[in-house]
């Protein structure tokens, strides 16, 4: 092995600092990257093939997620695509709770994450058996979210978003996107720790209020977020930063997703949130083998 290769290998190992989170009394090691499979129970998710409605489709999707090796299932009942229609928290819960029940009944050992920015929905979901809260707004859209997470003592994925899902195409981050996102996440990590939340996972929020160029700047400098000393989740699956650049569609963005997931792993990602679990796990296996091979 050349000296340059040894240096790169050492950098990669340093970025993958061994971290663990407490999930319902179980310690989950994130030193080895994990896959979070997406279960959309919405009728209007941006990637049409990911939409599930009805018990049969939910069971089929969860079985697929688990068969292909995801350790976490992220259930979303509120579409956060740009310009998505707002839905009430009652409707969000009507979609979420049956899905949680199905997963808990058939796959009781599964780690369930709930994609919501509403504290009441988060509370009800945890009561129903959810393990993790994945908040695209990082507490911005519901000031009681941090208190609910602290009360329930569950891991919390805190994402950076500029604006709201309905307005994020007209509200972009500042020119110095890294400083804005890093400072925002860092300040909130401190607040959460002060409230007694031990397990905070950060997500820079690719595609949420960032320009195409800003998304790729964040990907290039992703390793800098490891300085916040929190596990790092990356969610770029089939997003517009891929298909806009390649002038294709979400349906044609699997190859681009795998490329970016690999770059994310090289820069310290601990969790990949994806539609395509099999391909993400293959990327992790190859990446991990490269680290252990001389």
Residue written as token pair 């393990």: 131
- What pLDDT does 15 receive? 47
Active-site hit among 26, 273, 278, 285: 273
Kindly indicate the confidence band of residue 82, based on its pLDDT and cuts at 50, 70 and 90.
Answer: low
Q: Which residue has the higher pLDDT, 43 or 273?
A: 273
Q: Does pLDDT of 55 surpass 90?
A: no
Confidence of residue 259 (pLDDT cuts 50, 70, 90): very high
Can you point out the beta strands (E) in 72-152? 72-76, 111-115, 132-135
Q: Supply angle C-alpha 213, 232, 191, rounded to 5.
A: 100
Confidence of residue 35 (pLDDT cuts 50, 70, 90): very high
Q: Average pLDDT of the chain? A: 88
In this model, does residue 9 exceed pLDDT 50? no
Query: At residue 67, does pLDDT exceed 70?
Result: yes
Q: Classify the C-alpha dihedral 219-223-224-230 as positive or negative.
A: positive
pLDDT of residue 8: 40
Any catalytic annotation for residue 273?
A: yes
| Alpha-carbon distances of 78 from 175, 176, 258, rounded to whole Å | 29, 30, 25
4 pLDDT above the threshold of 50: no
Q: Which residue has the higher pLDDT, 113 or 82?
A: 113
Q: At 285, which helix (H) or strand (E)?
A: helix 277-292
Catalytic pick among 162, 210, 238, 239: 239
Walk me through the domains of the chain, giving residue ranges and CATH numbers: 32-292 (3.20.20.20)
pLDDT class for 14, splitting at 50, 70, 90?
very low
State mean pLDDT over 219-237: 97
- The DSSP annotation for 189-249 comes to HHHHHHTT---EEEE--TTSS--HHHHHHHHHTGGGGGGG-S-BEE--TT-HHHHHHHT--
Cα distances from 178 to residues 71, 82, 118, in angstroms, run 30, 22, 26
Residue 248 CA to residue 259 CA, distance in Å, equals 15
Q: Rounded to the nearest 10 degrees, what angle do helices 177-194 and 212-220 cross at? A: 70
């Amino acid at each position: 092995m050349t000296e340059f290769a040894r240096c790169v290998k050492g950098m990669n190992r340093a970025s993958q600092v061994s971290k663990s989170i407490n999930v319902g009394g179980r310690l989950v090691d994130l030193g080895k990257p994990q896959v979070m499979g997406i279960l959309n129970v919405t009728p209007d998710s941006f990637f049409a093939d990911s939409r599930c409605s009805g018990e049969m489709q939910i069971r089929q999707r969860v079985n697929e997620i688990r068969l292909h090796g995801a350790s976490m299932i992220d259930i979303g009942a509120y579409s956060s695509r740009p310009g998505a229609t707002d839905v009430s928290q009652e409707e969000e819960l009507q979609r979420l709770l049956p899905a949680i029940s199905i997963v808990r009944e058939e796959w009781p050992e599964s780690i369930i994450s709930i994609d919501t920015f509403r504290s009441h929905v988060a509370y009800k979901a945890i009561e129903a058996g959810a393990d993790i809260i994945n908040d695209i707004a990082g507490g911005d859209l519901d000031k009681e979210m941090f208190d609910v997470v602290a009360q329930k003592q569950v891991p919390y994925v805190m994402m950076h978003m500029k604006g709201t899902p309905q307005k994020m195409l007209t509200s972009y981050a500042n020119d110095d996107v890294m400083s804005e996102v890093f400072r925002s996440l860092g300040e909130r990590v401190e607040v959460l720790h002060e409230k007694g939340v031990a397990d905070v996972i950060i997500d820079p929020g690719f595609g949420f209020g960032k320009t195409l160029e800003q998304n790729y700047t964040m990907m290039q400098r992703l390793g800098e977020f490891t300085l916040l000393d929190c596990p790092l989740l990356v969610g770029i699956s089939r997003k517009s930063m891929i298909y806009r650049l390649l002038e294709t569609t979400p349906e044609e963005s699997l190859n681009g997703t795998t490329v970016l997931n690999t770059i994310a792993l090289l820069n310290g990602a601990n969790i990949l949130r994806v539609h395509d679990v099999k391909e993400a796990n293959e990327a992790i296996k190859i990446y991990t083998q490269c680290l252990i091979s001389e």
